[in-house]
Amino acid sequence: MLVYKTEEEIDILRRNNLLVSKTLAEVAKLIKPGVTTLELDKRAEEFIRDNGAVPGFLGYGGYPNTLCTSINDEVVHGIPSNRVLKNGDIVSVDCGTFMEGFYGDTAYTFPVGEVKDDVMNLIKTTKESLFKGIDNAIDGLRIGDVGYAVQFHAEKAGFSVVREMVGHGLGRDMHESPEVPNYGKRGRGIKLATGLVICIEPMINMGSKYIKQDNDGWTIRTIDGKPSAHFELAIVVRKEKAEILSTFKYIEEVKNFGI
Ligand code: MF3
Ligand code: CO
Ligand code: CO
């Protein structure tokens, strides 16, 4: 069942996703060689609570933290720990909030210090592919148009698209219908209509598209150990152009990460 949101509900979703965006900017200030992912997590939790929300991921399906921090070959759902970020790493930071009955959900992949050109290209391409998807998330187009645009851009650059994990509707639940795959065929799938709120979140691998799960029950990593990047924004489908509810603006004001 698809849940279309009223403008009042969209206002609440906008507040949640702006808070997530600002939280990611607080995290961005701390990202450098030597910081642990648990330090990032602590700052994010504090900032979310100081702003009147609660962490959206904490306790979700038993998840233990505020952030998902996924380093290098980790695709998504990496659990914050005492692991130290090193020069040349990349880290996907995915963050969620919950307030006034609705969720926020947004992610950004940061380079740590100096990152090799081919890995920077992976990050850049993944971010671009997200915006290609957003360009197609308009009233009257279909979910397959979004996935096709993401996939086309990623594969053109020689990268591969993770299939098992997908974007999703966002609202009173963090994961609502529809599923939003990052691959697809033009003109296929459900028709998008005004008021549908979705998260588009390409997970793009440098090598094989295949993934595996660690024994911790959460961490997803590439099968071949090559790096993976992940960006996510929440958007509302509208007539001419999607309205983007979250933003990377605050992150990129902290520092130019070169993406
Ligand atoms: N934020 C993830 C997504 O983009 C889901 C995180 S699951 C959790 O869909 F358990 F870690 F919260
Ligand atoms: Co997310
Ligand atoms: Co999501």
| Model confidence pLDDT, tens digit, residues 64-103 | 999 999 999 999 999 999 999 999 999 999 999 999 999 9
pTM attached to this predicted model: 0.99
pLDDT at 222: 99
What's the rounded mean pLDDT across residues 12-17? 99
146 assigned to some structural domain: yes
pLDDT tens for residues 206-255? 999 999 999 999 999 999 999 999 999 999 999 999 999 999 999 999 99
C-alpha 73: how far from its chain's center? 16
Q: Is position 62 within any domain? A: yes
- What is the predicted pLDDT for the residue at 28? 98
Count CB neighbours of 212 within 10 A.
Answer: 11
pLDDT at 51: 99
What's the mean pLDDT in 25-30? 98
**Ligand 2 centroid, distance to 93 Cα (angstroms):** 8
C-alpha closest to that of 25 among 251, 233, 249: 251
In-domain check, residue 43: yes
Would the CB of 58 count as within 6 Å of ligand 1?
Answer: no
In the chain, the percentage of residues whose pLDDT exceeds 90 is 100
pLDDT at residue number 205:
99
Banded pLDDT at 57 (limits 50, 70, 90): very high
Q: Which residues are placed with Cβ below 5 angstroms of ligand 2, an ion? A: 94, 105, 107, 232
Number of domains in the chain: 1
pLDDT at residue 127, rounded to an integer: 98
Segments forming the whole domain that contains residue 244 = 7-254
Whole-number pLDDT of residue 121: 98
Predicted local distance difference test score (pLDDT) of residue 215? 98
Q: Report the nearest atom of ligand 1 relative to the CA of 65.
A: 11
pLDDT 10s digits, 149-178: 999 999 999 999 999 999 999 999 999 999
Q: Is residue 51 part of a domain?
A: yes
Is 183 domain-assigned? yes
Query: What CATH number corresponds to the domain at position 61?
Result: 3.90.230.10
State mean pLDDT over 15-44.
99
Checking 150-156 for CB contacts under 8 A at 24+ apart, the result is 150/182, 150/183, 150/200, 150/202, 151/182, 151/183, 151/184, 153/125, 153/128, 153/129, 154/125, 154/126, 154/129, 154/182, 154/202, 154/204
Mean pLDDT, all residues of the chain: 98
pLDDT-based confidence at residue 194 (cuts at 50, 70, 90): very high
Domain contains 1 = no
Per-residue DSSP letters for 50-74? Answer: HTT-EESSTTGGG--SSEEEEETTE
> What ligand 1 atom has the least distance to the C-alpha of 175?
9
Q: How confident is the model at residue 115 (pLDDT cuts 50, 70, 90)?
A: very high
Atom 11 of ligand 1, nearest CA residue: 57
Exposed, middle or buried, 250 (CB in 10 Å: 0-12/13-18/19+)? middle
Residue 71 lies in a domain: yes
